[in-house]
Amino acid sequence: MTQRKTRVAVVFGGRSTEHGVSCLSAGSVLSHLDPERFEVVPVGITREGAWVLGTSDPAELEIRDRRVPEVAAGTAVALPGDPTRQELILVEPGRGGEVLSEVDVVFPVLHGAFGEDGTIQGLLEMADVPYAGPGVLSSAVSMDKEYTKKLLAAEGISVGTFEVLRRDESTLDDRRRERIGLPAFVKPARAGSSLGITKITDWAQLDDAIAEARRTDPKVIIETAVVGREVECGVLEFPDGRIEASLPAELRVTGAADWYDFESKYLDDVTEFDIPAKVGDDTIERLRATAVTAFRALECQGLARVDFFVTEDGELIVNEVNTMPGFTAISLYPRMWAQTGVDYPALLTTLIETAQARGTGLR
């Protein structure tokens, strides 16, 4: 008797500002999932938050004319938060409650708010559906740059100098400006893909930079600019519980941009990288060890990408931890693992099998 393939709901899009990047990642995931092992159910979430039956054609999830793809309106579906019904149902008029497909595991290829921040993880825990990636706590904490830095600092990991502006704070006073110094980066505290970020070299630019960040998030973080090489390291949990770090990658921006902004990441061919990073064997091992320490400190599961600065004197400073790193055609997370000996299809299989082995609930 032929064994049924594992049904994987690949969920993408979402309400965050990183909707388009999520679609790009999903297209790449759809291209690399092993068709002999997995039956894919694509689920798109529109910018308004509607769940729809998504496209299964990766070609529809590519950049065209410098425009990122997005999820369009379509057949409405839902995942009930009911542990007795691990299935997608139709919610179309006249077909409400009709079962579209059972679901064995969810791959939430969602970046940013309403997906990478613990929200969909909470829904999946309620529904008792296994899912790839970290759980509610680690997803929420890692999404918030302030609390990521505080928890890592408590583990003795260097995170750089930063200040936080909450909703009721309009700007930094002179004392806090002196502590940060210039240049500095002004960022939304809970966003990724370099959206809403401004590099400032004069305090006269601060208020405009805060306003730009607050277009994405009312909570803003201001960080001292670190002079150092930008290096990333992937962390992967295996079904047997092993946690390993990939060979690190070093990024270099070669175009007009002087930092790794959204256009440099996704639209312009101005970024070069080395895998492994050319930082010396000792530094590579320290990067890998620190990445695993950060992963454990935040109680991550499944996967994460840890972003570092390596200073001239060899200090490792963690910039951020991404619990659902990009899986686009140019993303470094799958490339780092390929250079470490785990190719893209095997990487996705590992994530799905780890999700199934872990299950849901307290663990």
Summarize pLDDT for 115-167 with one digit per residue, the tens. Answer: 999 999 999 999 999 999 999 999 999 999 999 999 999 999 999 999 999 99
Please give the pLDDT value at position 254: 79
pLDDT at 169 over 90: yes
The two three-digit tokens of residue 208, written as one number? 């405009």
Distance from C-alpha of 298 to C-alpha of 293, rounded to nearest angstrom: 9
Segment 317-332 mean pLDDT? 94
Which pLDDT value is given to residue 94?
Answer: 79
CATH label of the domain that carries residue 96: 3.40.50.20
Q: Which residues are catalytic?
A: 18, 193, 331
Residues 206, 119: one domain? no
pLDDT of residue 34: 98
Q: Are residues 286 and 152 in the same domain?
A: yes
Residues 6+ apart with CB under 8 A from 212: 186, 196, 198
- Per-residue pLDDT, 66: 85
Say which CATH number the domain at 210 has: 3.30.1490.20
The pLDDT mean for the chain works out to 94
Whether the pLDDT of residue 260 is over 60: the answer is: no
pLDDT at 239: 98
Mean of pLDDT values over 322-349: 96
Predicted confidence at residue 256, as pLDDT, reads: 62
Q: Is 194 annotated as a binding residue?
A: yes
* Residue 84 and residue 14 in one domain: yes
**Residue 363 maps to a domain:** no
The whole-number average pLDDT for the span 154-182 is 98
On whether the CB atoms of residues 132 and 85 are closer than 8 A, the answer is: no
Question: Token pair 């296994």 is at which residue?
Answer: 130
For the chain, what percent of residues have pLDDT higher than 90?
A: 85
Question: Within this chain, do residues 149 and 280 fall inside the same structural domain, yes or no?
Answer: yes
If asked whether residues 153 and 288 sit together in one domain, one would say: yes
Find residue 131's DSSP bridge partners.
106
Is residue 35 assigned to a domain?
A: yes
The answer to the question of whether 223 is labelled as a binding residue is yes
Note whether 149 and 292 are same-domain residues: yes
| Burial group, residue 273, by CB count within 10 angstroms (0-12, 13-18, 19+) | middle
Global confidence as pTM: 0.94
Do 147 and 255 belong to one domain?
yes
What residues have CB less than 8 Å from 280, skipping those under 6 apart?
A: none
pLDDT score recorded for residue 313 = 97
Which segment, 14-18, 145-149, 329-333, is predicted with the most confidence on average? 145-149
240 and 352 in a single domain? The answer is yes
Q: Is 344 helix (H, G, I), strand (E, B) or coil?
A: helix
Range of the domain at 33: 6-131
**Do the strands 162-165 and 198-200 form a parallel or antiparallel pair, or are they unpaired?**
unpaired
In this prediction, residues 277-281 reach a mean pLDDT of 98
The answer to whether residues 284 and 173 belong to one domain is no
What pLDDT, on the 0 to 100 scale, is given for residue 278?
A: 98
- The answer to whether 92 is annotated as binding is no
Helix axes 145-154, 136-143, angle to 10 degrees: 110
Domain assignment present for residue 215? The answer is yes
For residues 132 and 327, the answer to whether their CB atoms sit within 8 Å is: no
26 & 127 share domain:
yes
Residue 92: which residues within 8 A CB-CB, separation 6 or more? 75, 76
In a domain, 66, yes or no: yes
Q: Which residues neighbour 120 within 8 Å (Cβ) at sequence distance 6 or greater?
A: 11, 108, 110, 114, 131
Q: How many whole angstroms from its chain centre is CA 334? A: 13
The pLDDT value recorded for residue 2 is 64
**Does the annotation place 28 within a ligand binding site?**
no
Strand partners, 243: 237
Looking at residue 170, its pLDDT comes to 97
Whether residue 29 lies inside any domain: the answer is: yes
**Exposed, middle or buried: residue 282 (CB in 10 Å: 0-12, 13-18, 19+)?**
exposed
The DSSP secondary structure of 11-29, one letter per residue, reads EEE-SSTTHHHHHHHHHHH
Give φ, ψ of 292 to 5 degrees: -65, -40
Residue 261 is predicted with a pLDDT of 56
Select from 176, 202, 224 the last residue of a domain. 224
Q: Are residues 217 and 231 in the same domain?
A: no
User: 244 and 335: one domain?
Assistant: yes
Q: What band does 3 get if pLDDT is binned at 50, 70 and 90?
A: confident
Is 29 marked as binding a ligand?
no
Last residue of a domain, one of 202, 224, 246: 224
- pLDDT for res 267: 53
Question: Which domain CATH number covers 315?
Answer: 3.30.470.20
Residue 268 pLDDT greater than 60, yes or no: no
Which pLDDT score, from 0 to 100, does residue 258 have? 65
**pLDDT for residue 253:** 82
1 domain residue, yes or no: no
Residue 186 placed within a domain? yes
How many DSSP H helices and E strands does the chain contain?
10, 17
Number of domains in the chain: 3
User: Does 127 reside within a domain?
Assistant: yes
pLDDT tens string 105-121: 999 999 999 999 999 99
DSSP codes, 167-224: TT--S--HHHHHHH-SSEEEEETT--TTTT-EEESSGGGHHHHHHHHTTT-SSEEEEE
Q: Which of 224, 252, 277 finishes a domain?
A: 224
